[in-house]
Amino acid sequence: MSLNRTHYRPIDAGVLAEIRAAVGDAAVLTDPERLAPFARDASELAAVPELVVAATSTEQVERLLALADRRRFPVTPRGQGTGLAGGAVAGCGGVVLSLAGMNRILAIDCANLVAVVEPGVINGALKAAARAKGLFYPPDPASFDTCSLGGNAATNAGGPACVKYGTTRDYVLGLEAVLANGRRIRAGGATRKGVVGYDLAHLLVGSEGTLGVITRLILKLIPHPPAVTTLVALFPRMPDAMRAVSAILGRGLMPSAIEFLDDHCLSLVGDLLPFRGVARAGALLLAEADGPATVIQQQIEAMGEICLENAADDVLLAPDSEKRARLWDVRKQVSLRIEEQNPVYIPEDVVVPVAGIAEFVGRIPEFERRFEIAIYAFGHAGDGNIHLNLTARSESDRPRVEAAIGELLRLVLAMGGTISGEHGIGAVKREVFHPDHDHHFRGLEPRNS
């Protein structure tokens, strides 16, 4: 995709002086060495901003956006830059507005089960602070120890726990944001319910910084589950694993995570897994149950039975926290190893209706053969959210990878799915997303239309 700097004039000395006067000298970074870390997020895109404003207060955000509105320079909000869609990259030039310094947890209210936070608070820091008070903040992107809650709200981040607990949107009760003209708004509040007026808070969630800059969040907390237990099942073939997932969900069991890895992923991280049989396996399921110890024991055993009914070769329980942590660490290693071992690596995060996941993953080998590439698939089986990692051994193969992506996205849409479950549109998908037509994507129309 192309970054476009042509729509705006560069920030001149006069505008720079106005920015300094508006937000204070100390907040403005112009030294190239200090700008460099703000040039990238976790996507392949890069663009060094003209300057960075490192905000520490909502008033600075208000004054910067009011000025940007008057002087017509672009402002790109940024949390921790872990986004995978290039949304925090200043592709049009102008200012990157870093919210990382607005990182105070303002309240954890145990009586009302809410937290009030600034946008730069790291997700894992809120989890830990809530845990210390017996409370739980469930949204758990794999990047939870580095990404910000403002970024999570802006991208409606999710993770393995979504299958039981939902996405970030389900935990945002209210927020404060500054609009593009510098006006501060408050939407929602600290109550569990509220149907007064339009639901602007949830409109801002997932808007990827396009509707306003989130400067404060009121988040729902829940009591921390007393116990958690884990199961790993190895299957000879992926469709068997996916049938097991449908059966687990269909029989009313409520896993707090149900993740899968395909055989390519297993060949990458099999050496790290503490059991035998991985080399022969076609798929792995990692399922968890949380809640009272006696209840989850029954649930995890029932999930294990279902896996065996669906042709699992092996089912292993990992109730202790050390084994659990090790399994989740292996799950995290998958992306790192894919990236390390493949010069061309494009991550996609498609979603298909849950009942279609077996069919979808069953068709991936066909794409590998047709485009002569390798596709690593893993993800959140219970949500139908599949992380497809399309790879090739050499840069000259990139066009084939890109052609395969187009075809896969077309299949996803034909199956009633959507082209991103978590990573968002950002800049990387801006050219295919067509906001005027719900679920129609430029260049991805079905072949027969």
Ligand X SMILES: Cc1cc2nc3c(=O)[nH]c(=O)nc-3n(C[C@H](O)[C@H](O)[C@H](O)COP(=O)(O)OP(=O)(O)OC[C@H]3O[C@@H](n4cnc5c(N)ncnc54)[C@H](O)[C@@H]3O)c2cc1C
Residue 250 in contact with residue 308, Cβ under 8 Å? no
Q: Which is nearer to ligand X, 129 or 180 (CB)?
A: 180
Binding mask 328-357 for ligand X (x = CB under 6 A): -------x----------------------
Q: Which is nearer to ligand X, 335 or 389 (CB)?
A: 335
Does residue 320 sit in helix, strand or coil? Answer: coil
φ, ψ of residue 370 to 5 degrees: the values are -65, -40
State the DSSP string of 115-135: EEE-TTSBHHHHHHHHHTTTE
Residue from 154, 248, 257, 361 in contact with ligand X (CB under 6 A): 154
Dihedral over Cα of 71, 76, 80, 81: its sign: negative
Residue from 19, 22, 23, 41 in contact with ligand X (CB under 6 A): 41
Residue from 103, 148, 230, 256 in contact with ligand X (CB under 6 A): 148
State the DSSP string of 8-47: SPPP-HHHHHHHHHHH-GGGEE--HHHHGGGSB-SSS-B-
- Shortest distance in whole angstroms from residue 290 CB to ligand X: 18
- Shortest distance in whole angstroms from residue 81 CB to ligand X: 4
- What is d(CA 206, CA 423) in angstroms, rounded to the nearest whole number? 10
Among candidate residues 280, 271, 274, 282, the one with its CA nearest the CA of residue 239: 282
Give yes or no for residue 87 binding ligand X (CB under 6 A).
yes
Give yes or no for residue 379 binding ligand X (CB under 6 A).
no
Residue from 60, 152, 230, 256 in contact with ligand X (CB under 6 A): 152
- Residues in contact with 109: Cβ distance below 8 Å, sequence separation at least 6, in sequence order: 115, 116, 190
Residue from 42, 51, 249, 375 in contact with ligand X (CB under 6 A): 42
- What is d(CA 392, CA 398) in angstroms, rounded to the nearest whole number? 7
Give yes or no for residue 77 binding ligand X (CB under 6 A).
yes
Q: Which is nearer to ligand X, 74 or 426 (CB)?
A: 426
Give yes or no for residue 99 binding ligand X (CB under 6 A).
yes
- What is d(CA 234, CA 311) in angstroms, rounded to the nearest whole number? 9
Residue 64 in contact with residue 19, Cβ under 8 Å? yes
Give yes or no for residue 82 binding ligand X (CB under 6 A).
yes
- Shortest distance in whole angstroms from residue 209 CB to ligand X: 3
Q: Which is nearer to ligand X, 92 or 306 (CB)?
A: 92
Q: Which is nearer to ligand X, 93 or 159 (CB)?
A: 159
Among candidate residues 213, 224, 221, the one with its CA nearest the CA of residue 153: 213
Among candidate residues 272, 245, 246, 249, the one with its CA nearest the CA of residue 259: 245
Which contiguous run of DSSP H or E holds residue 200? Answer: helix 200-204
Structure-block tokens of residue 257: 């995570």
Dihedral over Cα of 436, 442, 444, 449: its sign: positive
Q: Is 100 exposed, middle or buried (0-12, 13-18, 19+ CB in 10 A)?
A: buried
Q: Pick the piece of the chain touching ligand X (CB under 6 A) from 25-33, 139-147, 264-272, 353-361.
A: 139-147
Q: Pick the piece of the chain touching ligand X (CB under 6 A) from 14-22, 285-293, 339-347, 421-429.
A: 421-429
Residues 9-38 that bind ligand X (CB under 6 A): none
Residue 207 DSSP symbol: S
Q: Pick the piece of the chain touching ligand X (CB under 6 A) from 51-59, 74-82, 109-117, 285-293.
A: 74-82
- Shortest distance in whole angstroms from residue 423 CB to ligand X: 6
- Shortest distance in whole angstroms from residue 160 CB to ligand X: 7
Q: Pick the piece of the chain touching ligand X (CB under 6 A) from 107-115, 149-157, 249-257, 401-409.
A: 149-157
Q: Which is nearer to ligand X, 243 or 387 (CB)?
A: 387
Q: Which is nearer to ligand X, 239 or 426 (CB)?
A: 426
Residue type, 16: L
Residues 163-222 that bind ligand X (CB under 6 A): 208-209, 213-214
Give yes or no for residue 150 binding ligand X (CB under 6 A).
yes
Residues 225-264 that bind ligand X (CB under 6 A): none
Give yes or no for residue 157 binding ligand X (CB under 6 A).
yes
Which residues sit at the interface with ligand X, rule CB under 6 A? 41-42, 76-84, 87-88, 99, 119, 141-143, 147-148, 150-152, 154-155, 157-159, 208-209, 213-214, 335, 422-423, 426
